[in-house]
Structure 1
């Protein structure tokens, strides 16, 4: 008598939230994560500081050390290393997170909400004359392709009004004034809009939308496009 076969779980879906700084990415990502779990869908939230590798403390420690090098470094060190170094360091970070956290979760049927995906990094390097755009595209090309990308569109001036403050990185190290932020972020926004043409993106103009309205629109899209009801 043969043992009954066990069907492989349906693969999870990767859902990404992108947009310029201040668009509301993290707020939406956190709400979608909570809503999907509350509705009975196994879901994890992956962000720029997600370093936990399930059931592997040694790998988790390694991922945390890389995260510290990439995101918790001294500003003077960051400037000294140069743009090419940081592109490759970021590529290493996204690769490790994709390999050790995202792909295993999807394979076991767990959905992934990805906040702070590489799309904004690509947009920033596309406006950086020191680094070839083609190089930036190549070092991220192997990452898992999302099933759905929520692109939160908002003008840089409105984003600044929501944020209130910003870092030097958020001006592209071009200055410290509000206009420096606005000029740089609007340039990044144009680059994100060019990525949108690749398909699989849902573009939402969130300028006049409340957080609840953005969330409602996103959940309706999950049900319509991915058949994930919340």
Structure 2
């Protein structure tokens, strides 16, 4: 006798991207998301401003207000609040996005392409002597673990050549010159390399690859590691 009980879909895969400013994370994330959908997979692209909670407009509105406080604030406010406050504010944002947006998508069998991985936050705080690295790791430790992390490795000087300009945050608030950006970004990049080694991330040396080569390498990894052909 056949059962009429509904089947539970296989959980989706969480795919994230890490790299310095100008590495091409958003470009690759968007292209892989499109390729997954074109290949017939259920996939959603989530960035740092993704606040929609399906069938829960009140939660969407709350998440959007939190996003505004964290990412759409006046630069003078950011400086006045201090590093500990922003660590906890960022942890709050990542916690709610993970709980309200990412986890439900994965549970429904939808693959999540996450463009705003918290690992870059960890790398930035790791070079900040004012904040305990242990505290930083603890406030993000509960987040959903990704099945695949792409680490887009590129030196800061090459990244700056791609970007052309940068914000004070991207230079670590250390000054407004190109060398300030390069010095800070390369220091943060060293921390990302350590995370990549510990976490078994897939490293792509994007300084040596054009965009098409980066995409092909990432698509091959999806097929090989997650059995997601695109």
Q: TM-score, normalised by structure 1?
A: 0.98
What is the aligned partner in structure 2 of residue 225 from structure 1? 225
Q: Distance in 2 between matches of 1:79 and 1:191?
A: 23
Q: Distance in 1 between matches of 2:204 and 2:145?
A: 20
Q: Distance in 1 between matches of 2:213 and 2:50?
A: 27
CA RMSD of aligned residues (A): 1.0
SS in 1 for 2:113: strand
Residues 131-190 of structure 1: CA deviation (Å, up to 9, x unaligned): 010000000000000000000000000000000000000011010000000000000100
What is the aligned partner in structure 2 of residue 5 from structure 1? 5
SS in 1 for 2:202: strand
After superposing on structure 2, the runs of 4+ consecutive aligned residues of structure 1 that deviate more than 6 Å are: none
What is the aligned partner in structure 2 of residue 216 from structure 1? 216
What is the aligned partner in structure 2 of residue 76 from structure 1? 76
What is the aligned partner in structure 2 of residue 183 from structure 1? 183
Q: Distance in 2 between matches of 1:202 and 1:2?
A: 43
What is the aligned partner in structure 2 of residue 116 from structure 1? 116
Q: How does 1:127-146 map to 2 (within 5 A)?
A: 127-146=127-146
Correspondence 1:149 to 2:168? no
Q: Distance in 2 between matches of 1:220 and 1:55?
A: 35
Residues 57-112 of structure 1: CA deviation (Å, up to 9, x unaligned): 11111110000000000000000000000000000000000000000000110000
> Any unmatched runs of 5+ in structure 2?
none
Aligned partners of 1:147 and 1:200 also within 8 Å: no
Q: Distance in 1 between matches of 2:213 and 2:56?
A: 39
> Any unmatched runs of 5+ in structure 1?
none
What is the aligned partner in structure 2 of residue 57 from structure 1? 57
What is the aligned partner in structure 2 of residue 198 from structure 1? 198
Q: Distance in 2 between matches of 1:97 and 1:84?
A: 20
Q: Distance in 2 between matches of 1:80 and 1:3?
A: 61
Q: Distance in 1 between matches of 2:153 and 2:120?
A: 12
SS in 2 for 1:17: strand
Q: TM-score, normalised by structure 2?
A: 0.98
How far off its partner does 1:54 sit?
1.1
Q: Distance in 2 between matches of 1:150 and 1:174?
A: 28
Q: Distance in 1 between matches of 2:151 and 2:106?
A: 22
What is the aligned partner in structure 1 of residue 37 from structure 2? 37
Q: How many residues align?
A: 230
